[in-house]
Amino acid sequence: MTPEPAVLATRGLTVRYGDTVAVDAVDLTFLPGSRTAVMGPSGSGKSSLLHALGGVVRPDGGEVWFENERLDRLSEAQRSRRRLARMGMVFQFGDLVPELTLVENVMLPLQVLGERARPARSRALEMLDALGVAEVAHRRTGAVSGGQAQRAAIARALVHRPAVVLADEPTGSLDSLTAEQVLDTMVAITTASGAALVVVTHEHVVASHLDDLVVLRDGRIAVGAPA
Amino acid sequence: MSAALPLLALLEQEPAHGYTLKQRYDDRFARTRPLAFGQVYAALSRFEKRGWAEVTEVEVVDGPERRRYRITPDGVETVSAWVYAPQQPTEFAMSNLYARVSVALSSGRSAIDVLDRQRVQHLGRMRELTGLRKDADPTELLAITYELAHLDADLRWIEEAGNRLEELA
Ligand SMILES: Nc1ncnc2c1ncn2[C@@H]1O[C@H](COP(=O)(O)OP(=O)(O)OP(=O)(O)O)[C@@H](O)[C@H]1O
Ligand SMILES: [Mg+2]
């Protein structure tokens, strides 16, 4: 029996900042359609792990495999290309383009992939609608609430049907009811497309919408074995 | 929570008579509901029968016998198994967890490990409930939401306790 191929995997993944070892020799495997919560105390390396998985930072040691390719061996430009085309990322502190409206932000990944403006716009609007923020789609990022901006960032991470979605505290600014609805939407959309979903969260209610749990402590996996 | 295993854990700390053991138990685990002597003696004779404890001396002080007990290696293993085994997340799980964490801390076992294991159990139950909620009728929904809120509160305690222990470590 051949094991199901992972879409994303690490071996001995290590990320350092000077003397700080933020991620310490971590082995993880994410299958298509898997849903994983990453938890752990503040400073345990959750964001650093996610950034290395998404190729935002190059690891200081170990390997990151994404769609059968060594992500850590690619140049910065190649990594961003893979990320923009095949991954959806939601950053902990947001990174919507402030000069653009929400819908323009959500259209960006589609346009980078060469989609024409009109279909891109209607798909982006659908996605904003699914996340409950259609009514502020034409406002600039600075003119919406933190929770609305957060939902637009999630829409942008999902809109191009990526193979993996990496979300860092995606519901941190949402009330618990909205947080659960947003989680359900993320799960439904990634399930439909077979994408792997990885969500960093400190809320167990959020984690209860996902199937697997990884707990980091001091950059190491305290709970949750590699698949 | 059954008192037996916490008693065995107290015996692990040092050999003791039933009376001393009861006092230690009350101080440590049962501030509001002291243990009956009968329970302590019943537990000790059960430990002896199962080979978890043995009598080291018998003194006779004007009348009644006082038996001093000591834990055996099998008993130590039993304590370990109890401390590390996550419990079904029922309403009794938390007082049990509290006792297990407390024993782990005082016996040099990993309290964080105990918490992490229990978290997995709790989260498993939350997952189940989250799934059930999707097609629950209003009455079921109330019950499910109630249990979820409790589990969430438990988990917050687990998380906070874990983080504090981390800081101390
Ligand atoms: N750019 C950086 N420069 C130096 N140290 C960093 C940097 N980013 C993170 N660190 C350190 O690396 C460790 C892990 O940080 P990381 O941001 O990955 O943690 P986290 O689990 O995401 O925390 P939080 O829950 O607070 O978001 C911490 O000790 C942090 O101080
Ligand atoms: Mg972080």
From chain B, the residues in CB contact with A217 under 8 A are 112, 166
Residue with the two structure tokens 């470590």: B169
Mean pLDDT of chain A: 94
> Is A221 a residue whose pLDDT tops 50?
yes
Determine the pLDDT at residue B166.
Answer: 80
> Is B76 a residue whose pLDDT tops 80?
yes
Determine the pLDDT at residue A72.
Answer: 95
Q: What is the dihedral of CA A54, A26, A209, A211, to 10 degrees?
A: 120
Determine the pLDDT at residue A128.
Answer: 97
Ligand nearest to the CA of A20: 1
ipTM: 0.81
- Tell the residue nearest (CA) to atom 7 of ligand 1: A17
Instruction: Walk me through the domains of chain A, giving residue ranges and CATH numbers.
Output: 8-224 (3.40.50.300)
Determine the pLDDT at residue B168.
Answer: 79
As a whole number, mean pLDDT of residues A203-225 equals: 92
Coil/strand/helix, residue A94: coil
Determine the pLDDT at residue B35.
Answer: 87
As a whole number, mean pLDDT of residues A29-40 equals: 96
Give the pLDDT band (50/70/90) at residue B96: confident
Q: Which amino acid is at B63?
A: G
Determine the pLDDT at residue A227.
Answer: 44
First to last CA, chain A: 16
At B123-146, the pLDDT tens digits run 999 999 999 998 899 888 988 998
Other beta carbons less than 10 A from residue B18's beta carbon: 20
Atom of ligand 1 nearest to the CA of A202: 25
Radius of gyration of chain A (CA): 17
From chain B, the residues in CB contact with A46 under 8 A are none
Chain B nearest-CA distance from A41, in A, is 6
From chain A, the residues in CB contact with B130 under 8 A are 205, 208-209
At A37-66, the pLDDT tens digits run 999 999 999 999 999 999 999 999 999 999
> Is B1 a residue whose pLDDT tops 70?
no
Determine the pLDDT at residue A4.
Answer: 66
Closest partner CB to B123 (pick from A41, A208, A222)? A208
Determine the pLDDT at residue B28.
Answer: 85
At A142-199, the pLDDT tens digits run 999 999 999 999 999 999 999 999 999 999 889 988 999 999 999 999 999 999 999 9
CA-wise closest residue to A72 among A89, A91, A53: A53
Pocket of ligand 1 (CB under 6 A): A 17, 20, 22, 40, 42-48, 92
At B3-31, the pLDDT tens digits run 899 999 999 999 999 999 999 998 888 76
pTM of the full structure: 0.86
Give the pLDDT band (50/70/90) at residue B92: low
Coil/strand/helix, residue A39: strand
Determine the pLDDT at residue A1.
Answer: 46
Q: What is the largest CA-CA distance in chain B?
A: 69
At B39-59, the pLDDT tens digits run 999 999 999 999 999 999 888
